[in-house]
Amino acid sequence: MSCAPHLHDLARNARGYAPRVPSIFSRIVAGEIPAHRLREDDRFLAFLDVRPIRPGHSLVIPKEEIDHFFDLPDDLLADLMVFAKPVANAIRSVTGAARVGCAVVGVEVPHAHLHLVPVDSVGDLDFRKASEADQDELSALAERIRAAL
């Protein structure tokens, strides 16, 4: 039995093969799934993670669905980091964290994304600590972060 994907399971996008079914992040971009949006423009979206490691844990994504973070074209990758900068600063300001750590993992959702996690020590950046967040708390935190932007 072959593990190779069948051609009918793949669709061609501008940068290569991508899953035919939109990722959960593409569905958030499209408004099909609600999210606590922090910042948005025509190319990027930042929103709170619903399973945060710590309060303020956010995700920054390109709206274009590209699976691997380091497959992003150089200009898009650079612009994503510039887009993320004020979000990270607002997270740090609102949470009082010493720093905002960044992580690129990319195994849970086939859509490039950058984790922004408020940290006070290296041990804070531990994905095993992730847990479901209360939606009302996320909503209030998102409002505070947006106000700090």
Catalytic site positions: 113
The CATH classification of domain 23-148, taken from the options 3.30.360.10, 3.30.1780.10, 3.30.428.10, 3.40.630.30: 3.30.428.10
pLDDT in tens, the chain (149 residues): 334 333 333 444 555 554 458 999 999 999 999 999 999 999 999 999 999 999 999 999 999 999 999 999 999 999 999 999 999 999 999 999 999 999 999 889 999 999 999 999 999 999 999 999 999 999 999 999 999 99
Please state, as a whole number, how many other Cβ atoms lie within 10 Å of the Cβ of residue 109: 15
38-72: per-residue pLDDT in tens? 999 999 999 999 999 999 999 999 999 999 999 99
Q: What is the mean pLDDT of the chain?
A: 90
Q: Which residues of 52-90 are buried (b: 16+ CB within 10 A; e: fewer)?
A: bbbebbbbbbbbbbbbebeebeeebbebbeebbeebbeb
Integer Rg of the chain from CA:
16
Single pTM value for the model = 0.85
